[in-house]
């Protein structure tokens, strides 16, 4: 509420971008937004997605800053060479493939989430197969 009062009290700060952020739904979307078919391109703003700043998650008294998956990075770099069934699972028809590829290559996972992810990551399977050659 403090942020809303601040924006509403400052005419110079009151803008369509702030109003859009303050009226946005706070309910979780229930899906990976990088795979949602957009009705329009996202609005560009000078804040460069600051709402998505990564921050550590504190668990058991220690910071867990997240883990990037090399397998997902591999998939992102070699997407065009992947089997079609894998491509369609990552970027369904009608979706700009750059969004889910960027999302998967930059997604940070907790320690537990990372361990769960490893069992289903196509890129990890590819990297393991290459390391056996």
The answer to whether residues 75 and 23 belong to one domain is: no
The answer to whether residues 73 and 126 belong to one domain is: yes
Is residue 61 domain-resident? no
Query: Looking at the DSSP assignment, which residues form a beta bridge with residue 109?
Result: 67
- Determine the pLDDT at residue 75: 95
Is residue 82 domain-resident? yes
Is residue 23 domain-resident? yes
Is residue 38 domain-resident? no
Q: How confident is the model at residue 63 (pLDDT cuts 50, 70, 90)?
A: confident
Domain count, the chain: 2
Angle CA 81–118–31, to nearest 5: 80
Is residue 10 domain-resident? yes
Each residue's pLDDT tens digit, 94-112: 888 888 898 888 888 888 8
Is residue 97 domain-resident? yes
pTM of the complete model: 0.61
Is residue 3 domain-resident? yes
| Residues 6 or more apart whose Cβ sits within 8 Å of residue 124 | 69, 70, 71, 118
């Amino acid at each position: 509420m403090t942020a809303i009062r601040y924006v509403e009290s400052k005419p110079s700060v009151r803008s369509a971008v702030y109003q859009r952020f303050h009226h946005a739904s706070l309910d979780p979307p229930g899906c990976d937004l990088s795979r949602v078919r957009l009705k329009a391109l996202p609005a560009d703003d000078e804040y460069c997605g600051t709402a998505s700043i990564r921050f550590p998650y504190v668990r058991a008294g220690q910071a867990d800053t997240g883990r990037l998956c090399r397998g997902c990075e591999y998939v992102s770099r070699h997407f065009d060479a992947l089997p079609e069934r894998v491509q369609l699972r990552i970027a369904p028809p009608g979706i700009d493939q750059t969004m889910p590829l960027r999302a998967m290559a930059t997604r940070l996972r907790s320690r537990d989430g990372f361990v769960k992810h490893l069992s289903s990551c196509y890129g990890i399977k590819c990297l393991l197969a290459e390391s056996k050659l």
